[in-house]
Structure 1
Amino acid sequence: MSFDPIKLEIFKSLFISIAEEMGVTLRRTAFSPNIKERRDYSCAIFDGEGRLVAQGDHMPVHLGSMPMSVRKAIEAVTLEPGDVVALNDPYEGGTHLPDVTLVSAVHVEGRPFFYVANRAHHADIGGMSAGSMPLSTEIFQEGLRIPPIKLYERGRLNASVMRLILANVRTPVEREGDLTAQLAANRTGERRLREMVAKYGVEEVAVSMRELHAYAERMVRARLAAIPDGDYTAEDYLDDDGITD
């Protein structure tokens, strides 16, 4: 099956609109101003191999590293229907510890056909100072480090994991509310993707994802080819590291 440009654009817009709707769900149901007002969150859709398909117009710093979080989640656990993995570990694809990522699989015909994920900046995740963004000298001072772990299993909350998280933060009610909002965002993405498959069929949706990847590759290659050959360097500076003079 080959795709014409018009159909490719339709599917691209469909995927992006789902990621955007995930973001709307997250923003409208979150508890904290960090997410509701400052909009420090991101949502994205991935194929069954964990490759990025579409992302909302959200935070670039989140979206650039979220594919690594999804891959680490897939490697660490088997995501069954209804499972949701939580993580924030920078060594597992995270950014700083307040950014907590939730990853869910969307099963079609008995296998993960999509993954949906969102990342949100929590106002506190523990550590040596309120807000969990201290002038630290080691990661253990920054807050609770969460490796890929199931927060929900088969659609049911893993209460022990939630209690562990909430026991290590300064604002547990708000944290629980924001985590639940992140769950709602993933559920929105799952529902819309299932509707897409029901309307267009498994094969056509699968081809659309492959074509979008191929299109993205062509665009990047064309852009790189336009850069003249040569050596390129850059320099940047910081006043200090906040610790030493």
Structure 2
Amino acid sequence: MSAIPDPIQLELFINRFRAVVEEMGTLLQRTAFSVNVKERFDFSCGLLNGRGELVVNAPHIPVHLGGLGVCGRAVAEELPLEDGDVALTNHPAFGGSHLPDISLIAPVFYAGKRIGFVINRAHHAELGGKRPGSMPPDARNLAEEGVVVPPMYLVLKGKAQWTKIRKHLLSGPFPTRSINENLADINAALASLMAGKRALQNLCTQFGPETVSYYMEALYHHAAARIAQRFTDLGQGSRSATEFLDDGHRICVRIGLIVDEGRPLLEVDFAGTSAVHPANFNATLFRSHSALMYVLRLLLDEPLPLNEGLLRDVKL
């Protein structure tokens, strides 16, 4: 960035951005049908910058939050998202977790220019699969876990695609058993996105889109600088660990920290970990991404939101 941001204004914008996603979360929790959302708070909301990187989160599920940017970018690469569009997916290859977690993402435009994205993820109590609840421990493929939703439009050019969504959720070898509840929860998630979209546009109206984008970028660089300083304080070195599941499957990690001319690089390598587990103990790159970002946030021990700047100097 060409200019050093005013630290007071940066802190104010951090809290303004947080207010956007907290409003999204409150609306989703209050309007959803699923007990997982209403009472267990098994959902997450995030704000992404124009590149699809996580800017701020509401204090929801950590293993969701760190990967919302991964999901947002994967969906945006698969589907062209224009003003008035909303996409949804639960596919692990596009940043999803387990299939009951459905993610919605919408671009936010102001004066014809994309400012960022709003995204949420919520756990549906039932989404098909070979057993009710969509979390069978003996599943051997995705279809046995539930209905697989690749990135698809929920809203296209301002028009909701409810008929297509219903048809998809009722398709496949193990369709959902609770279609009306699913659609109600998706509608709640959609309302949450629209609230976040309006809130971010209101910030653009109040402060100008250039200022809003500037402080999104400033927060990214601030988070990156703070964790880089923490890495430098720790100094160079490497550590490794190996653990085993009860059935003998191996989890290996090697963490190495190099500081070169004041610029640190943290490398996290899971080479040596066992291949795909036959049961439901597997994690996508998204899960590892989420866990790593959360650990770095704890390592920093400062009141910063989860922000993808934390991963600028990290190789996973």
Describe how 1:167-178 pairs up with structure 2 within 5 A.
167=170, 168-178=175-185
Alignment-mate amino acid for residue 229 of structure 1: Q
Instruction: Point out 4+ residue stretches in structure 1 off by more than 4 angstroms.
Output: none
Partner residue of 1:33 out of 23, 32, 35:
35
Alpha-carbon offset, residue 7 of structure 1: 0.5
- Counterpart residue number, 1:70: 72
Alpha-carbon displacement from aligned partner over 1:85-135 (angstroms, at most 9, x marks no partner): 000100111111111000001111213211000000111111111111112
Q: Is the 8 A contact 1:65 1:95 kept in 2?
A: no
Partner residue of 1:209 out of 213, 216, 219:
216
Cα RMSD between the aligned structures?
Answer: 1.5
Q: Is the 8 A contact 1:166 1:176 kept in 2?
A: no
- Counterpart residue number, 2:121: 119
Q: Is the 8 A contact 2:53 2:70 kept in 1?
A: no
Partners of 1:199 and 1:214 in 2: how far apart?
24
Alpha-carbon offset, residue 2 of structure 1: 4.1
Partners of 1:109 and 1:49 in 2: how far apart?
18
Indicate yes or no: 2:154 matched with 1:151. Answer: yes
Partners of 2:52 and 2:278 in 1: how far apart?
37
Alpha-carbon displacement from aligned partner over 1:142-201 (angstroms, at most 9, x marks no partner): 111111110111222113322224422111111111000000110110010011000001
> Secondary structure at the residue paired with 1:103?
strand
> Secondary structure at the residue paired with 1:31?
coil
> Secondary structure at the residue paired with 1:231?
strand
Partners of 1:162 and 1:146 in 2: how far apart?
9
Bigger CA drift: 54-63 or 72-81? 72-81
Q: Equivalent pairs: percent with the same residue? A: 39
> Secondary structure at the residue paired with 1:144?
coil
Alignment-mate amino acid for residue 137 of structure 1: R
Q: Is the 8 A contact 1:125 1:169 kept in 2?
A: yes
Partners of 2:238 and 2:12 in 1: how far apart?
39
Indicate yes or no: 2:197 matched with 1:185. Answer: no
- Counterpart residue number, 1:50: 52
Partner residue of 2:234 out of 217, 220, 227:
227
Partners of 1:123 and 1:148 in 2: how far apart?
21
Partners of 2:90 and 2:224 in 1: how far apart?
29
Partner residue of 1:80 out of 76, 79, 82:
82
Partners of 1:175 and 1:140 in 2: how far apart?
17
Tell me, which stretches of 5 or more residues in structure 1 are unaligned? none
**Which has more strand, going by share of residues?**
2
Alignment-mate amino acid for residue 85 of structure 1: A
Alignment-mate amino acid for residue 183 of structure 2: E
> Secondary structure at the residue paired with 1:104?
strand
Partners of 2:69 and 2:77 in 1: how far apart?
12
- Counterpart residue number, 2:204: 197
> Secondary structure at the residue paired with 1:107?
strand
- Counterpart residue number, 2:141: 138
> Secondary structure at the residue paired with 1:232?
strand
Alpha-carbon offset, residue 73 of structure 1: 1.3
Partners of 1:32 and 1:205 in 2: how far apart?
34
Q: Is the 8 A contact 2:140 2:278 kept in 1?
A: no
Indicate yes or no: 2:248 matched with 1:236. Answer: no
Alignment-mate amino acid for residue 129 of structure 2: G
Alpha-carbon offset, residue 223 of structure 1: 1.7
* TM-score, normalising length: structure 1: 0.94
Describe how 1:91-106 pairs up with structure 2 within 5 A.
91-106=93-108
Partner residue of 2:164 out of 161, 165, 171:
161
Q: Is the 8 A contact 1:87 1:102 kept in 2?
A: yes
- Counterpart residue number, 2:314: none
Bigger CA drift: 155-164 or 6-15? 155-164
Partners of 1:144 and 1:111 in 2: how far apart?
35
Partners of 1:141 and 1:16 in 2: how far apart?
37
**Number of corresponding residues:** 243
> Secondary structure at the residue paired with 1:226?
helix
Partners of 1:104 and 1:62 in 2: how far apart?
17
* TM-score, normalising length: structure 2: 0.74
